[in-house]
Amino acid sequence: MTLYLSRLTLRRDPPNDALKALLDPDDAGRRADAHHRLLWTLFSDGRDRERDFLWRAEPRGRFYVLSHRRPEPHGLFEAPEVKAFEPVLTKGDRLTFLLRANATRSIPGEPLADGSGRRQRGRTVDVAMHLLKDVPRRERSAEPASAPARSQRAATRHDLARQAAEEWISAQGARHGFSVRDFTLEHYSTVTLAGYRGPRKGEPRFGVFDMTGTVEVTEPDAFLIRLAEGFGRAKAYGCGLMLIRRG
Q: Quickly count: other Cβ atoms within 10 Å of residue 131's Cβ.
A: 17
Separation CA 214–CA 239 (nearest Å):
19
Top CATH class, 94-246: alpha beta
- 3-85: CATH topology: Alpha-Beta Plaits (3.30.70)
Q: Would you kindly state where each structural domain of the chain is located, as residue ranges?
A: 3-85, 94-246
Q: Quickly count: other Cβ atoms within 10 Å of residue 132's Cβ.
A: 20
Residue 197's pLDDT is what? 53
Tally the residues of the chain. Answer: 247
Segment 129-160, tens digit of pLDDT: 766 666 655 443 445 556 676 677 778 888 88
Residue 13's pLDDT is what? 85
Residue 141's pLDDT is what? 43
Helix (H) or strand (E) holding 83: strand 81-85
24 phi/psi in degrees, rounded to 5: -145, 65
Separation CA 241–CA 247 (nearest Å):
19
Using alpha carbons, list the distances in angstroms from residue 57 to 7, 30, 82, 152: 10, 13, 16, 30
Mean pLDDT on 74-90? 94
39-43, 102-106, 227-231 — which is least confidently predicted?
102-106
Q: Are 25 and 58 in contact (CB under 8 A)?
A: no
Higher pLDDT, 165 or 50: 165
**Over the chain, what is the mean pLDDT?**
84
Domain 3-85 identical in fold to domain 94-246: yes
Query: Is pLDDT above 50 for 33?
Result: yes
Helix count (H) and strand count (E) of the chain? 6, 10
Residue 133's pLDDT is what? 67
Using 50, 70 and 90 to split pLDDT, how confident is the model at 208?
very high
Q: What share of the chain is helix, strand, coil (3-state, %, to 5)?
A: 30, 30, 35
